[in-house]
Amino acid sequence: LTLDAVDLQWAIILQIFMLIWYSPVEHLTVRNLTFRGPLEEPTEYAFLPLLSSVEELISLDGFMKALTLEHVRNKVYYFNQEILYRQFSEMNIANLTINDAYMPHMLCPNGTSSFQYLNFSHNALTDELFQNCDTLVDLKLLILQKNKFESLLKVSFMTSRMKSLKYLDMSNNLLRHDGAGAQCPWAESLAELDLSSNQLADAVFECLPVNVKKLGLQNNQISNVPRGMVELKSLEELNLASNRLADLPGCGGFTSLQFLNVEMNSILTPSADFFQSCPRVRELQAGHNPFKCSCELQAFVGLERQSGGKLFGWPAAYVCEYPEGLRGTQLMDFHLSQLACNTTLLLVTALLLT
């Protein structure tokens, strides 16, 4: 069931919701929802009996499995909003989405929660969300993109008691990590983590879940993957696109790595021994970097032939940026003779010609 452009008094919305809860509806989506207050502007206590009935209702087993609220605007200002948050946190459903609602907080469920999927994207949530929360033990997917989270350490603490968490999306926040040596107690079950579009630098590699398999760090401020700082033996896919890398990272700490994306960094001359140090990598995306077409790049160009098509986007995404005379030339069309790139041979030839 989908409702759109709902603009009603808060009490009426609650009554409609109670009717739907008793019905066989399993999936309810409400878009462009506006809560309003009654004309008389009663005190919050006038709503408490109704809210109490809703809380009692939603804690019971019903047909509903998923509730989605999108583009929510609240124009009720005269009661404690935590009363409303409590209604949501105690819902006995598997999936809850509250998207674009300017929501600054959400309460930890009082008892063991049935939530398996929570999507609170595009709100105003902060680092205090679900701290010391023991009741989200069945939660598998948590999406918190486009909020106001700042501390990666606190995010890790948030997950530490989520024993079933598999996927976490923290993209498009304000996350930083100062690398002060504090341990980051991520949920051991966490297999996929999206930290893209934050403010993370090299120290992020001190604070990552040890069992992660897929890691998104694109569009941050990473200039180097510090050797010896991190060991992610389960990591299979790493996205470092749109950062500040000057070279391809090695795989010393990523022994299971299969897919690496380093597009749109600052790589002039990539290391030619990449596939030797990363034997399990099946696909490397390294295009759209400002390649310097010189003798040093010749070995990397040879990688494409040796790797058997492991360079994603070849040849269109691999273009010379420097020197200016070669700008726009595809790397596959860039050739220098052996004589031009062998200093010793060049000197001997010059001596023989003189």
pTM for the predicted model, two decimal places: 0.88
Q: What is the pLDDT of residues 127-162, one digit of tens each?
A: 999 999 999 999 999 999 999 999 999 999 999 999
Sketch the domain layout of the chain as residue ranges: 1-101, 102-353
- HEC-encoded secondary structure of 71-137: EEEEECCCCCHHHHHHHHHCCCCCEEEEECCCCCCCCCCCCCCCCCEEECCCCCCCCCCCCCCCCCC
The more confident residue out of 261 and 85 is 261
181 has a pLDDT exceeding 90: no
Q: What is the pLDDT of residues 243-262, one digit of tens each?
A: 999 999 988 889 999 999 99
Q: What is the pLDDT of residues 93-133, one digit of tens each?
A: 999 999 999 999 999 999 999 999 999 999 999 999 999 99
Rounded CA separation 70/33 (Å): 7
- Return the CATH fold of 102-353: 3.80.10
